[in-house]
Amino acid sequence: MGRPGTVPDNPQPANTATTKRIETMNATTPTPAGCVAKAEIITCGIVLTKYLGPTNSRGSRVKATSGSGKTATVSWDSELDAHHNHAAAATSLVWKVLGIPADSIQLIGGTLPTDDGYAFAVLRK
């Protein structure tokens, strides 16, 4: 499980009722301009990401984990800010697991309250 206040390496999937609701519901998401965008929440639902610091043999990376425990790890891109590096890892996971390209999804999320990672809801455009 890890130390208190950290994101677990393998988060447990949500309960069955929540998972079924996430797989089938349509999300209505308000945009900053007051418009409303509708999108279908993709089966993998929520993606958690975590920064992995550099080691002697590898540079900094971001690891994305789905509720089912599938993972994808991407190298840190110094041209991007933290949010976009974490979003890139989440997008990579969606491509790896579901084969859905980045231009077909929308990520909505931000930092976790513990400031040790990000959480994203994955929406199909």
Q: What's residue 93's pLDDT?
A: 93
Please write the tens of the pLDDT for every residue from 68-79. Answer: 899 999 999 999
The Cβ of residue 17 has, within 10 Å, a number of other Cβ atoms equal to: 8
Q: Mean pLDDT across the stretch 105-117?
A: 89
Give the highest mean pLDDT range of 9-18, 75-84, 96-105: 75-84
pLDDT, one tens digit per residue, over 27-36 is 444 433 333 4
Query: Is residue 111 exposed (0-12), middle (13-18) or buried (19+ Cβ within 10 Å)?
Result: middle
What residue segments make up the domains of the chain, in order of their start?
16-124
How many angstroms separate the CA atoms of 19 and 31, rounded? 25
What mean pLDDT is predicted for residues 36-65? Answer: 80
Assess whether pLDDT exceeds 50 at residue 54: yes
